[in-house]
Structures are given as structure tokens and as C-alpha cells.
């Protein structure tokens, strides 16, 4: 499936699910950018969906910076990622930006677009909700990465 056809499936899903987004059409990729408001302590997340010729990627940008605690957050991210089945947390060592990324293939999206779009958009929100308290604990210095991940996974 081509980039335009995949982007059309993404757009149709977002429209049918009443997402508010900005559509960006570039030569190499097509992006959808929107915001998600949730009930957990990291309540406003920016969502980037990018369709390239290879895959469809969904990034959730968390509204925090771990620049002041990079080693501790890196340990938290590695420990949290170890047990994840879908997606992964990412930490930018330059500015402390924290993201969650999940991707899928054009073929998977074409085969079952609703199921794959739910996996791209809603599984990350659940994962972020599971780990949000731990992220805040590490950022504030109240918890070690080990303790924060353990508590998050026990309470899930």
C-alpha cells in the first residue's frame, strides 16, 4: 500500500473518531498533529502520526523535561521498556524530551485499519497512564527508577 492510501486510512479513522488534528503534507512523509487531554497527571500530550514510505509511526510527546535528571530517567525508561509488548518510551539526551513511540506497517494497517489505529493511538495512552506517576516520581526526585517502575507495574 502506498503512502497516500495509508494516509487516507489514517485520516478517515481520525475523522470518524472525532480527533482534532493538523494535516501536514510533505514530499517524503505525511503527518497528523493533535493534542490529547487525559485524566492522569501528565494530562496534555501532543500526538504526532507520521506516514512514511516504510511505516506509520505514532509519537506521544509528554509535557515534561527530564534534562535535570537524565541518568535517573534513562534508567526508568529502560526498566519500563523491558516489560512492554507494544511501543517504547524514548528519551532525548540533548534536551530531556520524553516520548512514547509505536509503529505499524502499511500492510497491517490495510489488513485491519480500525484495530491497528486503536493500537497506534489508544495502547500508548494506556501505557503512559500506567507509568505517569512513576515518571513524575523520578522527575521530582521522590523515587528511584527501580522503585517507580515497580510501583507502576504493581498498580497496573
Look up the CATH number of the domain holding residue 101.
3.30.1460
Domain count of the fold of the chain: 1
pTM (2 d.p.): 0.87
- pLDDT for residue 148 is more than 80: yes
For residue 4, pLDDT beyond 90: no
Mean confidence (pLDDT) of the chain: 87
Can you point out the beta strands (E) in the chain? Answer: 22-25, 30-37, 44-51, 56-65, 88-91, 97-104
- Report the pLDDT value the prediction gives residue 20, as an integer from 0 to 100: 81
Q: What is the largest CA-CA distance in the chain?
A: 48
* CA 49/CA 116 separation, integer angstroms: 13
**pLDDT tens column, 20-66:** 888 887 766 667 776 665 555 556 778 888 888 889 999 998 888 99
Owning domain of residue 13: 3-154
What is the grid cell recorded at 58?
505514532
Amino acid at each position: 500500500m502506498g503512502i497516500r492510501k495509508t494516509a487516507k486510512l489514517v485520516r478517515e479513522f481520525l475523522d470518524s473518531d472525532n480527533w482534532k488534528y493538523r494535516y501536514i503534507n510533505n514530499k517524503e512523509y505525511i503527518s497528523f498533529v493533535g493534542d490529547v487531554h487525559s485524566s492522569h497527571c501528565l494530562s496534555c500530550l501532543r500526538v504526532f502520526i507520521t506516514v512514511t514510505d516504510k511505516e506509520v509511526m505514532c509519537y506521544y510527546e509528554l509535557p515534561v523535561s527530564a534534562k535535570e535528571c537524565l541518568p535517573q530517567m534513562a534508567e526508568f525508561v529502560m526498566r519500563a521498556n523491558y516489560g512492554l509488548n507494544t511501543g517504547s518510551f524514548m528519551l532525548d539526551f540533548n534536551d530531556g524530551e520524553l516520548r512514547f513511540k509505536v509503529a505499524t506497517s502499511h500492510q497491517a494497517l490495510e489488513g485491519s485499519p480500525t484495530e491497528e489505529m486503536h493500537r497506534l493511538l489508544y495502547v500508548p495512552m494506556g501505557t503512559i497512564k500506567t507509568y505517569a506517576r512513576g515518571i513524575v516520581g523520578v522527575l521530582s526526585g521522590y523515587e528511584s527508577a527501580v522503585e517507580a517502575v515497580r510501583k507502576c507495574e504493581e498498580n497496573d
